[in-house]
Amino acid sequence: MIRLDPYTTRRTVLSLIAGLPLLAMTRPAAAAVPSLSFDELYSKFGVLGLEFSEKVKSLAGQEITIKGFMAPPLKAEAAFFVLTEIPMSICPFCSSDADWPDNIVVVYLGEKQTFVQPSQTIEARGTLEFGSWTDPETGFVSLLRLRNAEYASV
Amino acid sequence: MRMLLSALAATTFLAGAAQAATVYPLDRATILAGSPFDFKVEFKSVVKPEDVKITVNGQDYKTVLGKEAEFVAEEKGKEDKILGSAVIARGLILPTEGAYKIEVTAGAESKSVTWDVYNTGETQKAKNIIFLLGDGLSVAHRTGARIMSKGMTEGKANGRLNMDDLDHMAFVGTSSTEAIATDSANTMSAYMTGHKTAVNALGVYGDRTPDTLDDPKVETIAEAIRRQTKKSIGIVSNAEVEDATPAAVVAHTRKRADKEQIVGMMFDVKPDVVLGGGSAYFLSKDIPGSKRKDDKDYIKLFQEAGYTLATDKSELQTATGTNTGKILGLFHTGNMDTALDREFLKKGTVEKFPNQPGLVDMTKAALGELSKNDEGFFLMVEGANIDKMSHPLDWDRALVETIEFDKAVGVAREFAASHPDTLVVVTGDHAHGVSIIGTVDDEKPGTEMREKVGTYAEAGFPNYTDENKDGYPDKIDVTRRLFLSANNGPDHYETFRPKLDGPFVPAIQNEKKEYIANEAYKDVPGAVFVQGNIPKSGDSGVHSVDDVVLQAAGPGAEDFKGYMEESDIYRVLADTLALGVKQTN
């Protein structure tokens, strides 16, 4: 069953219907896709919360690219992976999913791709989405996501 | 020979017939008279309620324990696996001191345990306790901090740490109830409740059911202080305030990672001063940066309960001038930065949180506020980053943290000097597998860093300087520096140099969830690969099982001596504040 969340865009639904393998081919050339960096995610870090940057707000709903590192999957069957600014190291006594760094991007893949080594820089490309979202399967809470994404080593 | 064999057979037969149930509190538990605790018996099999017999000192248990226990026919584990029957009675109170022998039988199962219920003196020995906990504080940290901060000439230290002059001491055993090894949850829980428990557990015995919030509870020191006195309570840490060590002052959970719930438990106890990091677990989930999974806004709840909020060093200063008597200071969404990053290198997350107070600022603010209460106070101060930098083998940061922690000890001793009715306790919760083996000298010939390690006479003395006399070395990357070496760890690269770009990340995880050496350090000139010697699932250096050294001064300190278990330390704290007796004045 395909689970649709409130953020699912019409485009995602269409591409799901159209068949995922074709997706990459239908995308515009890379040059046209705006890119975002980890430095540009938040305009303010504070004890009472973070503020999304204007750039994030303005790019929401659009396809973007972002470079980072793939953290090892939470569960083999999870539908997403976590993109981090630096290669991930987790301490043994803070290994609950809530102890990730502040600035992570959760990447929901359009289709399955093989795992890459954590020291390998990757570029992920997908539709940017912001705001709190709890993954229905794992309970993982994320603030920034790429939907219908793919990635490649760079 | 034949006789011996039959004797052996008989023993084996008996052991097979009488399965041992588990009784909580465990055998040899020490319990403060009058403190509430949960009683639980776990049978290995499903038994009939009418077959369960429990006596206390030979009498029916209900007479002595004052309560009927609830019978649970079948406790269930993961995937509904039946674990056996159980008997639970919550919130029992034993008001009279003495030995309590609990005998339990049901069918083929039996178990006998003895509890030592103790009381305290009628009157308190000290009005205040300042309990300073260096997380992971090992002998190497102390020696290293002393050499780095004070220097050494011809084998004699050029100065003393503040903790060096606390005049009573004990060697403290840190092991958990399930293993010789241990973590910061069960160790601090033993200090703060008087009961040893399992790794990851706080204020509870770790039972067999998967629910982390149903385990048999014991009373924490904060609860005992609230029950018996009108003293104030303070918690200071440079970790998240809901991290294991500060949490142990107030919390009850089998799993220290229940940080969201721990914030709620802290709110229930309402320590008068709470200073540290970890605001992410106070924010409702729709606020970016929150790590909660619900809509509760604990910042607002604390404010509504009369707390003044401080979110940086200046606001902390302002808050100490207000008269609310209650301060919630949260200075980071996660763990606060180390002194080396905060004050010198400006690395870590200092750019995002530029105005964090240090442990010294926080200790001063807490003492200023708590000492307004004429009834006295209990203050817990944790130097958390000693441990948080020792795990990733970042020994320079760990030593600078130890220096900062010692400065907080100095603040406590200064307070005690003008308030002699104060007990000051300084200890670690567990040790790390680290030792100082000599120096690294860049001036030695060649390019191989390993050949620049000086051992024995070749070690000489390091050349740290402290021109401004602030107790911190003017720079950490001097040419002849201390060489600390871990006796365990994951695969990693040893660079023989301080990590000036931010805390060391020795290993990272691969797709098989195994930790491999972080290639980022591979090309540092002279770096050598160090083969790990712990399972590949381990990301960093582990706690060692070694004893820790406790030092103390002030009224009550004379009871710290020889070898003690961490759970024994609580008894001294309770006796110092006379927590066995209601303080009516």
Asked if residue B9 has pLDDT above 80, the reply is no
Alpha-carbon gap, residue B273 to B258, rounded angstroms: 22
Query: Residue B141 in contact with residue B402, Cβ under 8 Å?
Result: yes
Residue bearing tokens 């203050």? B379
A44 interfaces chain B, CB cutoff of 8 Å = no
Which band of pLDDT confidence, cut at 50, 70 and 90, is reported for residue A74? low
Q: pLDDT tens for residues B155-202?
A: 999 999 999 999 999 999 999 999 999 999 999 999 999 999 999 999
The pLDDT > 90 percentage for chain A reads 38
A132 interfaces chain B, CB cutoff of 8 Å = yes
How many independent structural domains does chain B possess?
Answer: 3
pLDDT, mean of residues B374-378: 97
| Averaged pLDDT of chain B | 95
Asked if residue A17 has pLDDT above 60, the reply is no
A115 interfaces chain B, CB cutoff of 8 Å = yes
Asked if residue B362 has pLDDT above 50, the reply is yes
Chain B, 117 to 136: residues with Cβ < 8 Å from chain A are none
Q: pLDDT tens for residues B281-313?
A: 999 988 988 889 899 999 999 999 999 999 999
pLDDT value of position A92: 38
B524 interfaces chain A, CB cutoff of 8 Å = no
Distances, alpha carbon A28 to alpha carbons A19, A23, A64, B70, in Å: 17, 10, 11, 67
Residues B375 and B274 in one domain: yes
A25 interfaces chain B, CB cutoff of 8 Å = no
Residue B7 covered by a domain: no
* Contact between B392 and A89 using a beta-carbon 8 Å cutoff: yes
Residue B496 covered by a domain: yes
B513 interfaces chain A, CB cutoff of 8 Å = yes
Residues B360 and B497 in one domain: no
Nearest to A102 among B185, B289, B520 (CB): B289
Residues B247 and B376 in one domain: yes
pLDDT value of position A118: 74
> Does ipTM come in above 0.90?
no
Residues B496 and B557 in one domain: no
Residues B487 and B565 in one domain: no
pLDDT value of position A89: 66
Residues B410 and B446 in one domain: no
Residues B380 and B399 in one domain: yes
CATH classification at residue B37: 2.60.40.10
A50 interfaces chain B, CB cutoff of 8 Å = yes
Query: How far does the CA of residue A29 sit from the closest CA of chain B (Å)?
Result: 31
Name the residue of chain A whose CA is nearest to B537's CA. Answer: A92
| Averaged pLDDT of chain A | 76
Interface test with A, best of B432, B509, B534 (most A CBs within 10 A): B509
Which band of pLDDT confidence, cut at 50, 70 and 90, is reported for residue B11? very low
Alpha-carbon gap, residue A15 to A3, rounded angstroms: 14
All domains of chain A in start order, with CATH: 10-153 (2.40.50)
Alpha-carbon gap, residue B273 to B399, rounded angstroms: 27
Name the residue of chain A whose CA is nearest to B276's CA. Answer: A47
What pTM value is reported for the model?
0.91
pLDDT, mean of residues A94-116: 76
Interface test with B, best of A89, A121, A138 (most B CBs within 10 A): A89
Q: Which domain holds residue B82?
A: 15-118
pLDDT, mean of residues A76-91: 76
Asked if residue B575 has pLDDT above 80, the reply is yes
The residue out of B497, B515, B530 marking a domain boundary is B530
B539 interfaces chain A, CB cutoff of 8 Å = yes
Residue from B192, B30, B189 nearest B120 by CA: B30
Nearest to A91 among B256, B283, B391 (CB): B391
B-chain CB neighbours of A45 within 8 Å are 289, 333, 352-353
CATH classification at residue B171: 3.40.720.10
Nearest to B288 among A51, A72, A119 (CB): A51
Residue B2 covered by a domain: no
A154 interfaces chain B, CB cutoff of 8 Å = no
Distances, alpha carbon B537 to alpha carbons B200, B489, B516, in Å: 18, 11, 9
Residue B307 covered by a domain: yes
Alpha-carbon gap, residue A61 to A148, rounded angstroms: 11
The residue out of B58, B89, B118 marking a domain boundary is B118
Q: pLDDT tens for residues B22-79?
A: 999 999 999 999 999 999 999 999 999 999 999 999 999 999 999 999 999 999 999 9
Residues B442 and B422 in one domain: no
Beta strand B480-486 with B492-494 is: unpaired
Residue B583 covered by a domain: no
Which band of pLDDT confidence, cut at 50, 70 and 90, is reported for residue A75? low
| Vertex B269 angle, CA B267 and B275, to 5° | 65
* Contact between B333 and A141 using a beta-carbon 8 Å cutoff: no
DSSP state of B122: S
Which band of pLDDT confidence, cut at 50, 70 and 90, is reported for residue B325? confident
Query: Which helix H or strand E contains B564, and what residues bound it?
Result: strand B563-565
- Paired tokens of B246: 């500060």
B176 interfaces chain A, CB cutoff of 8 Å = no
The pLDDT > 70 percentage for chain B reads 97
Asked if residue B3 has pLDDT above 80, the reply is no
Residue from B163, B240, B36 nearest B548 by CA: B163
Asked if residue A28 has pLDDT above 50, the reply is no
Residue bearing tokens 């799993």? B255
pLDDT, mean of residues B132-146: 98
Residues B406 and B444 in one domain: no
pLDDT value of position A6: 36
Query: How far does the CA of residue A107 sit from the closest CA of chain B (Å)?
Result: 16
The residue out of B62, B93, B118 marking a domain boundary is B118
As a residue count, chain A comes to 154
B183 interfaces chain A, CB cutoff of 8 Å = yes
pLDDT value of position B570: 98
Residues B217 and B160 in one domain: yes
- Name residue B13's beta-bridge partners: none
More confident residue, A38 or A100: A38
A-chain CB neighbours of B287 within 8 Å are 48-49, 132
Q: pLDDT tens for residues B502-525?
A: 999 999 988 788 999 999 999 999
Asked if residue A20 has pLDDT above 50, the reply is no
Asked if residue B245 has pLDDT above 80, the reply is yes
Residues B510 and B560 in one domain: no
pLDDT value of position A77: 65
Which band of pLDDT confidence, cut at 50, 70 and 90, is reported for residue A112? confident
* Contact between A143 and B331 using a beta-carbon 8 Å cutoff: no
pLDDT value of position A3: 36
A136 interfaces chain B, CB cutoff of 8 Å = no
SS3 B358: coil
pLDDT value of position B458: 97
Alpha-carbon gap, residue A145 to B530, rounded angstroms: 37
Residue B328 CB partners (closer than 8 Å, separation 6+) = B274, B299, B302, B303, B307, B308, B309, B310
Q: pLDDT tens for residues B424-473?
A: 999 999 999 999 999 999 999 999 999 999 999 999 999 999 999 999 99
* Contact between A102 and B259 using a beta-carbon 8 Å cutoff: no
pLDDT value of position A88: 73
**Cα B397 to the chain's mean position, in Å?**
19
Residues B408 and B479 in one domain: no
Q: pLDDT tens for residues B539-573?
A: 899 999 999 999 999 999 999 999 999 999 999 99
Which band of pLDDT confidence, cut at 50, 70 and 90, is reported for residue A71? confident
Determine whether B467 is exposed, middle or buried from the number of CB atoms within 10 Å of its CB (0-12, 13-18, 19+): exposed
* Contact between A132 and B392 using a beta-carbon 8 Å cutoff: no
* Contact between A45 and B513 using a beta-carbon 8 Å cutoff: no
Query: Residue B34 in contact with residue B120, Cβ under 8 Å?
Result: no
